[in-house]
Structure 1
Amino acid sequence: MQTAKAGMITECRVEKIIETGYVLRHEGIKILLHTNDAIEPVKKGEDVSVFLYEDKQGNLNATMQIPGVTLDTYDWADVVHVHPRAGVFVDIGITKDILLSKDDLPEMRQQWPRAGDSLFVTLGYDRMERLVAKPVTEEIILQERDIAQDDINGQAISGQIYRILDEGAVFFSEQGIRGFIHESEANGVLRLGEAVSGRVIERKTDGTVNVTLRPIRTERQASDAEKIISYLEGRGGKMPLTDQSPPDLIDRSLGMSKGAFKRAIGKLLKEDKVEQQDGFTFLK
């Protein structure tokens, strides 16, 4: 029989009942089953199926709650805490949260998951043989994914980001489809574990999809136009920007490209909400 170790699912004999729970025995090793980890009362001499984990002191504990995330299976686990030096802790369904090391997280801190994000993980061990969470591999995604339908282009799609790349991010949709978001199609920096919603812009021959998180141009124009109106209102109805202004000045002032600015200004001029004169735009 295999030596008891954190991460194992095994049978243990109830040796005795104590005030805080039960003392189990597995191959001569004593293991604590705390009352909080016992789904139901058990009797002395009974064999119980448990999942083993280590407490903060490194002692081997057991729980009768068998998690969906194990050494052999993957599942989604919610991020419950971010430790800036260690990584993030995820809830796999037992009383102890499990660390996913910073070594398995993106180099940019902005791309780290936040509490409430969800990661597709399995269990493994670090260099010190401690039980840790490990992110899903591309091989597992290829085994688990579904093929996108031929008519999916233009359809809405939602999912969780499971991998960050230099040029964008990859996510697994609610329908089990693998999708790629190029950095130019994102609204800012994307996080590992972030829930995203977008629109399919291309179905690839392998059944995966390319996705944009950016709104349709008409929606973007309306949003950018509202931003310009707010900016004008905050400056007394006047700003030193027109559709002839340099791109860097527009970006510094409004955080949008010159092309987006020109489209939004064009919309506002057409609607007779603004006017331009002598290098300035005025709110009418």
Structure 2
Amino acid sequence: MVKLGQMNRLKVIKQVDFGLFLDGGNKDIDGFGEILLPRRYVPENTQIGDDLDVFIYLDSEDQYIATTETPKVMLGQFACLNVAMVNQVGAFLDWGLPKDLLVPFAQQRPKMEEDRHYVVYVYLDNSGRIAATGRYDKHLNQSKPEYKSRQKVNVLVAGRTDLGTKVIVENAHWGQIFQSDITQPLKYGQKLEAFIKKIHENGNIDIMLEQPGYAKIDALSQSILNKLHASRGFLPVHDKTDPELIRRLFLCSKKSFKQAIGGLKRQGLIEIQGQGIKLL
């Protein structure tokens, strides 16, 4: 079954001067009928009977249309997009397709301005058209998440609080990175990999940026060694160095840094001196 607003693998059934027609299923059985893939998107040497991976959306005349291009966001996903234009209908976002993505005024929070970026959720409106909303709390899963501690997850930075940074976890849940766990600069709308730190009984999710356990220290140890080699075997940092300097240099907490250099010292790879660490 063809899915609007998502990628689909469809068969080429007809060739015309202005493109190809793809098999979108029987209209009488919840299908879309023949779907046009405009000529500019047709891969070279495509033949009738070939299967193509295409994204399906509605054009400016509300006709189903296909593209081999991948948009910046799909139905049911969150993304941070730039406002290309604002008019009397609402704000139109650049999502990588010829027809911009509409955010009606009623779905804007805050009111959107041209050439600014906003985190939005993509959904189908009451008329079946693809649209976006900045009022996305109701689209997040309110049930208790089933992630495991230390599990790797994808997050989207969506705002700040007095305690740290709010993130959307796996396009599904709110999560928070506490200020003490922020080991690198974070930007609104940034996508990155992170890790589950803790899931509370009320469903709140604590997120951490650093890989937990020995794997984290191993990766950090290698980073320290790389910087030592690049600095002719000496770095003016040690276990007494200011935590902010350590964060800037190694994107980690002071605790993680101390564990890493302690491990390197025990392995006989470095020496911790009064003014810094030395490669052996």
TM normalised by structure 2 equals 0.53
Q: Are residues 119 and 259 of structure 1, via their aligned partners in 2, closer, same or farther at CA, if it must alter by over 3 Å?
A: same
SS in 1 for 2:145: coil
Aligned pairs for 1:84-233 within 5 A: 89-91=93-95, 95-98=98-101, 112=117, 119-122=120-123, 133-141=132-140, 144-149=141-146, 152-154=147-149, 156=151, 158-161=153-156, 163-166=158-161, 167-173=164-170, 176-191=172-187, 193-233=189-229
Q: Are residues 261 and 202 of structure 1, via their aligned partners in 2, closer, same or farther at CA, if it must alter by over 3 Å?
A: closer
Are the aligned partners of 1:78 and 1:91 in contact in 2 as well (CA < 8 Å)?
no
Select 2:236's aligned residue among 219, 235, 240: 240
SS in 2 for 1:231: helix
Q: Higher Cα Rg: structure 1 or 2? A: 1
SS in 1 for 2:144: coil
Are the aligned partners of 1:251 and 1:257 in contact in 2 as well (CA < 8 Å)?
yes
Are the aligned partners of 1:241 and 1:279 in contact in 2 as well (CA < 8 Å)?
yes
Determine the C-alpha separation between the residues in 2 that align with 1:75 and 1:158. 17
Determine the C-alpha separation between the residues in 2 that align with 1:105 and 1:236. 51
Are the aligned partners of 2:58 and 2:65 in contact in 1 as well (CA < 8 Å)?
no
Q: Report the AA paired with residue 93 of structure 2.
A: F
Determine the C-alpha separation between the residues in 2 that align with 1:249 and 1:159. 27
CA-based RMSD: 4.5
Determine the C-alpha separation between the residues in 2 that align with 1:282 and 1:155. 32
Q: Report the AA paired with residue 76 of structure 2.
A: D
Determine the C-alpha separation between the residues in 2 that align with 1:135 and 1:240. 46
Are the aligned partners of 1:78 and 1:90 in contact in 2 as well (CA < 8 Å)?
no
Are the aligned partners of 1:121 and 1:135 in contact in 2 as well (CA < 8 Å)?
no
| Cα offset, 1:283, TM superposition | 1.2
Q: Are residues 64 and 147 of structure 1, via their aligned partners in 2, closer, same or farther at CA, if it must alter by over 3 Å?
A: same
Q: Are residues 168 and 241 of structure 1, via their aligned partners in 2, closer, same or farther at CA, if it must alter by over 3 Å?
A: closer
Q: Are residues 85 and 215 of structure 1, via their aligned partners in 2, closer, same or farther at CA, if it must alter by over 3 Å?
A: farther
TM normalised by structure 1 equals 0.52
User: Percent identity, aligned pairs only?
Assistant: 19
What's the CA shift string for 1:158-202, capped at 9, x where partnerless? 34537323321131436x444333344345344555444433332
| Cα offset, 1:39, TM superposition | 4.2
| Cα offset, 1:236, TM superposition | 1.5
Q: Report the AA paired with residue 232 of structure 1.
A: L
Determine the C-alpha separation between the residues in 2 that align with 1:216 and 1:263. 12
Are the aligned partners of 1:104 and 1:134 in contact in 2 as well (CA < 8 Å)?
no
Count matched residues: 204
Structure 1 unmatched runs, 5+:
1-19, 21-37, 41-50, 54-60, 68-73, 125-130
Select 2:279's aligned residue among 274, 280, 283: 283
In structure 2, the residue matched to 1:46 is none
Q: Report the AA paired with residue 148 of structure 1.
A: P
Determine the C-alpha separation between the residues in 1 that align with 2:79 and 2:183. 23
Determine the C-alpha separation between the residues in 2 that align with 1:160 and 1:219. 20
